[in-house]
Amino acid sequence: MAKPTESDAEAAVRVLIEWAGDDPDREGLVDTPRRVARSYRELFRGYEEDPRSYLARTFEEVGGYDELVVLRDIRVVSFCEHHMLPVVGRAHVGYLPTRRVVGISKLARVVHGFARRLQIQEKLTADIAEAITDILEPQGVGVVIEAEHSCMTLRGVNTPGSTLITSRLTGALREDQRTREEFLRLARGP
Ligand code: ZN
């Protein structure tokens, strides 16, 4: 299948505007297909990235640090693959290093790289945990995502304020009760 061009994408947006019941030729909407097509490039940038590559550069001089590393409140902006509506929330990511750590901004970039695709939250959570597990080979990984799904809160069953929480815990964060509780406490915040 040939990759659609920007004008193909704009034509598709025009169809959706008409499908919604409006006139794509009226003044306020004339430039909308172009804006939407361009905003898609940004919102779905994850397809052009390899989030795993952000974890490639690690630091081995950790001074014997062997406690949890947790980054809380990473903003998540994603789109549910069932309705293409926004999923907005926060991710908390942690791991128990073996001998390597990564720069903390890299954890956020991994989250963004996987989020900026059509996703379901369960898979997004698992994708992040798997990438960290494969590349850092830590003693364990924890990923918790709490997010509001527009497809539920703006339409359908219409449950404003409801949040979906997903988590993936591996290794010591799953098996060792003390480590698990500590991660969940740190992820929950003050
Ligand atoms: Zn949905």
Cα gap 77→88, rounded to integer Å: 5
CA of 13 to the centre of ligand 1 (A): 19
Q: Could you confirm whether 149 is annotated as catalytic?
A: yes
Neighbouring CB atoms inside 10 A of 22's CB total 13
Distance between Cα 63 and ligand 1 center (Å): 45
Q: Give exposure, 178-188, as e/b (b: 16+ Cβ within 10 Å).
A: ebbebbbebbe
Q: Of 92, 112, 149, 182, which residue is the catalytic one?
A: 149
Short-list 15, 79, 68, CA closest to 176: 68
Of 10, 112, 121, 182, catalytic = 121
Positions of the chain with pLDDT under 50: none
Q: Is 121 a catalytic residue?
A: yes
C-alpha 149 – ligand 1 centre gap (Å)? 7
CA atoms of 133 and 141, how far apart (whole Å): 7
Total-model pTM: 0.91
Strand-pair category, 69-80 with 118-119: parallel
Identity of the amino acid at 180 = R
Q: Quick check: is 42 catalytic? A: no
> Which pLDDT score, from 0 to 100, does residue 155 have?
80
What is the H or E stretch that residue 148 is in?
strand 140-149
177 is catalytic: no
Given this model, what pLDDT does residue 148 score? 95
Asked if residue 109 lies in contact with residue 52, where contact means CB atoms within 8 angstroms, the answer is: no
Phi, psi of 56, rounded to the nearest 5 degrees = -65, -35
What pLDDT shows up at residue 147?
96
Query: 10 Å Cβ neighbour count for 111?
Result: 28
Report the pLDDT value the prediction gives residue 179, as an integer from 0 to 100.
Answer: 95
- 120 CA distance to ligand 1 middle (Å): 8
